[in-house]
């Protein structure tokens, strides 16, 4: 989001004559960033923040399990699944 904001600010500081290139080029980081922002905003509108909070709470609870036996196995399995959600 910062990158998109910076690109727009940079464009507005100039005469914006590069706007067609920024928006219409075959590879447009600004356009890609805006598409990402729309998808991210939609995800937050649909409740992703609550889902992430629930996952964090679950991660904490699993981390509090004992470090032996079946609870240890569960911690290991969950760690592998939760690694894609870095803090």
Tokens of 15: 């005469």
- Residue with the larger pLDDT of the pair 43 and 17: 43
Check whether 71 has a pLDDT greater than 70: yes
As a whole-number percent, the residues of the chain with pLDDT over 70 amount to: 89
pLDDT score, position 87: 58
Residue 46 pLDDT exceeds 90: yes
Highest mean pLDDT among 13-22, 38-47, 57-66: 38-47
- Report pLDDT for 84: 63
pLDDT, residue 42, reads 92
């Amino acid at each position: 989001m910062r990158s998109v904001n910076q690109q727009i600010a940079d464009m507005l500081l100039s005469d914006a004559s590069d706007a067609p290139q920024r928006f219409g080029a075959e590879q447009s980081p600004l356009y890609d960033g805006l598409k990402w922002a729309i998808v991210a905003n939609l995800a937050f509108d649909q409740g992703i923040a609550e889902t992430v909070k629930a996952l964090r709470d679950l991660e904490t609870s699993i981390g509090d399990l004992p470090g032996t036996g079946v609870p240890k196995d569960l911690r290991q399995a969950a760690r592998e699944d939760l690694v894609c959600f870095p803090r």
